[in-house]
Chains A and B, each alone.
Chain A
Amino acid sequence: QSVLTQPPSVSAAPGQKVTISCSGSSSNIGNNYVSWYQQLPGTAPKLLIYDNNKRPSGIPDRFSGSKSGTSATLGITGLQTGDEADYYCGTWDSSLSAERWVFGGGTKLTVL
């Protein structure tokens, strides 16, 4: 059971838009920046979005991020078959019992 909750899968047709949600709590998303990672099949994760909504250089503006309260959302527009991957949200979690990094369970994107 992951600390951050993501839908297991989403799908959409090429050219369409999809959103992936990430739900947490005040000890993590509510008080820290969220980052998103893309993991293509058989490869290591790659930073996609950081500080809730910033894109590293080289990441196209088809990818966007937002945060509201204790939830975050990744948006992908103009879907391409090459976007088929697993997507993970991540953030720091700080509570009375522990300080740790936490990830969502991951969302598998299928481009139909």
Chain B
Amino acid sequence: EVQLVESGGGLVKPGGSLRLSCAASGFTFSSYSMNWVRQAPGKGLEWVSSISSSSSYIYYADSVKGRFTISRDNAKNSLYLQMNSLRAEDTAVYYCAGESRGKFDYWGQGTLVTVSS
């Protein structure tokens, strides 16, 4: 059974930092590009960042470029998102998603990040 389990969310003050993790199992993690997609309360999906299977290619949404860093450890079947200089508008549920051949095959259950003073 495929599982993606996010962790690391919580309440943080504006300007603070948080590191999200995503533990993968049930599929060949090292063969998939991995992504972070977020959803603000009551809003739609917003793609955040993507990392290729070997970490050769990394992309960010303009809204997080320079503040967020995506990384992965294929030996640990894990995906990470380091979030710095957090803003109120970063408040959202953050999903990790496995992507292959132009589709998001697998999604985690999400972890909530709340940025508030």
Contacts and interface: CB of A to CB of B under 8 A. Distances in A.
B11 interface: no
Given A44-B107, A90-B45, A102-B47, A32 B59 contact: no
Nearest to B61: A100
A40 B61 CA distance: 25
Q: Is the interface of A mostly helix, strand, loop or mixed?
A: strand
Interface residues of A, number: 28
B109 interface: yes
A99 B59 contact: yes
B104 interface: yes
A88 B102 contact: no
A42 B95 CA distance: 13
Contact of A101 (B50, B101, B108, B110): B50
A32 B101 CA distance: 11
A63 interface: no
A17 interface: no
Contacts of B108: 44
Contacts of B44: 2, 86, 88, 103-106
Interface of B: 35, 37, 44-47, 50, 59, 61-62, 95, 97, 101-105, 107-110
9 contacts: A37-B45, A43-B109, A44-B109, A45-B37, A47-B105, A90-B104, A101-B50, A102-B47, A103-B45
